[in-house]
Chains A and B, each alone.
Chain A
Amino acid sequence: MKRPLLNVGMALAALLVCFPLLWMIAVSLMANGEASHSPAPLLPADPSLAHYRALLGSGGLARAFGNSLMLAIAATAISTLLNTLAGYAFAKLHWRGRDAIFSGLIGALVIPGQVAMLPLFLMLKEMGLVNSYLGVLIPSFAGIFGIFLVRQYARSVPSELIEAARMDGAGEWRIFFAVVLPLLKPVIVTLAVFAFLGSWNDFMWPLIVLTDGQLYTLPVALASLSREHVQDSELMMAGAVITVLPVLLLFLVLQRHYMQGLTMGGVKQ
């Protein structure tokens, strides 16, 4: 009695939650104005990729896609490297000031990023980095949460392994790359997925830093496009698909690592 009811309920709930995303794909394939009927059609009568062609051609989203991809890859590579190095140093190396600096970092986790935005903007303006790729990238070069995640994970690396490598005469950098890095692979993948999705989905900072449409990332370009094309729901849905699909696919492939990161962060008390 209870079992089928619960299963049907869960299946319906999951379908309802996914519905906006499925509907987005369906409408993006419809002809102009097709979705603005009552009752609204759920599937396109005559599926076409016309909106995608329009957006990626003259609509300028191809350029925004390239910007987003390049920025996300750069942010992922740099932040993963810097956070991993620092997280390892906090977990396994002995240096003066380590614990004081670490508790300072943890304390700073409560500061919302927006508090830093206005002065950071002025700093970047002085440095001539407003409206540049580098200006968008700079705040994502390293992050407290990433360092924390690596530190938690790296503490499980056996110290004997590191000490044995020291006995064999390996320098600290060689130990890191040859001995530690392979053991940190799971947390590095998690960190990289977080960094990529964070950069790809970020909205407020690129919106502030970028003024030139040529440099817009996908979310900024999509938001500005949607203000111009309020009525063109089919076109805007295609824009949403172009923005969302890459991260959804990435998530589907690497979801285990992403969810692991969430639960690792969840025990940070």
Chain B
Amino acid sequence: MSGRIGTRIAPRFSPRFGPRLGRQELAAWSFALPALSVIGLFFMLPVATGLALSLTDFDLYALASLKNLRFVGIDNYITVLQRPLFWKALGNTLYFVAVGVPLSVGLSLLFAVALQSKLVRFKPVLRTALFSPVVATLVAVAVIWRYLLHTRYGLINEGLVALGFSPVDWLGDPHWSMPAIILFAAWKNFGGNMIIFIAALQAIPEDLYEAARLDGAKTWAQFRHITLPGLAPTLLMVSILTIAGYFQLFAEPYVMTQGGPLESTKSVLYLMFEDGFKWWNLGQASALAFVLFAIIVAFSRGLLWLTRRLGVEA
């Protein structure tokens, strides 16, 4: 490996096809190629194949023999958009995103700011405690929450009753099933963004606060005029990533409600899973996957556009 020829200094500004680059270039490719071929073969290629698949009627018969496969153009997309269950699932998913993302990001921000306060003690312990749900296995904590949300013996209902409310059939009532899953998801996820906010808060110069205090600014004014503008780029990035993540809702309803009651927690991804791996309508499921992908892209772009319109620099 360490031949004499390869001993020259890396030619940073050598011509593009300079002979001296050869040896380093060969090594670079041998470093990068294993990872790149895995990503190419098992991610990029399936994505491209998926697009093709979404234009066919791939189903159980095609699974048995590819002779049964037909090209159907955009039929699958039309079928998806004409399906009431798709709109139901999209509505559920949008509900989850529209309530879940602000709640989850809001909690992250609240706890990040509180943990930054000089008045708070035992910060490392608090931070670890608040963060622990993020690393916990989703399926396992979903199982725990199913019992916490139990109508008769669940502690959440016992708390409600103690406060004078009537118990709620969280996972059995179609009006309450999605709020229950949102509550669970916010609890599970807020710690991750909290850590990102803490790092961003530490990057805001302390003298800004110092100057504001000298000017007589109160806590809220400081938050409004220094903290929030300083966090704006991070807030935008965190929101986009969280929205993209929340659109991919699947395991929570799979474990907690199986999409019920009355399809009230069936998400788009849950529908794709059932179409694809329960009914083996892989063509239609692929179309559904790309529709979801398009929706996620549209929402991230939309949010970026909106913040630019509002004049927030990110």
Contacts and interface: CB of A to CB of B under 8 A. Distances in A.
Given A112-B293, A123-B46, A86 B244 contact: no
Q: Is the interface of A mostly helix, strand, loop or mixed?
A: helix
A94 B12 contact: yes
Contacts of B132: 17-18, 21, 248, 251
A171 B140 contact: no
A222 B34 contact: no
A180 B285 CA distance: 45
A18 B129 contact: yes
Size category of the binding interface on chain A: 35 or more
18 contacts: A24-B144, A40-B154, A40-B155, A86-B32, A93-B27, A94-B21, A117-B276, A122-B282, A166-B9, A166-B10, A172-B31, A176-B31, A201-B135, A239-B140, A243-B139, A244-B140, A269-B233, A269-B314
Contacts of A223: 139, 254-255
Interface in A78-126: 82-83, 85-86, 88-90, 93-96, 98, 101, 105, 108, 110-123
Given A6-B117, A142-B39, A240 B144 contact: yes
A159 B125 CA distance: 39
Nearest to A168: B7
Contact of A94 (B10, B290, B297): B10
B32 to A, nearest CB: 4
B158 A204 contact: no
B47 A89 contact: no
A40 B131 CA distance: 26
Given A21-B133, A162-B10, A167-B7, A240 B28 contact: no
Contact of A6 (B16, B119, B200): B119
A222 B47 contact: no
A127 B78 CA distance: 32
Interface in B83-122: 111, 114-115, 117, 119-122
A259 interface: yes
A119 B286 contact: yes
A262 to B, nearest CB: 5
Interface size class of B (residues with CB under 8 A): 35 or more
Interface stretch (A7-15, A50-58, A182-190): A7-15
A222 B141 CA distance: 11
Contact of A233 (B49, B147, B272, B292): B147
Contacts of A168: 7
Contact of A89 (B32, B38, B233, B269): B32
B218 to A, nearest CB: 12
Contact of A23 (B12, B128, B148): B148
A68 to B, nearest CB: 9
A96 B34 contact: no
Given A110-B244, A237-B144, A251-B132, A14 B138 contact: no
Contacts of B272: 114, 118
B33 to A, nearest CB: 8
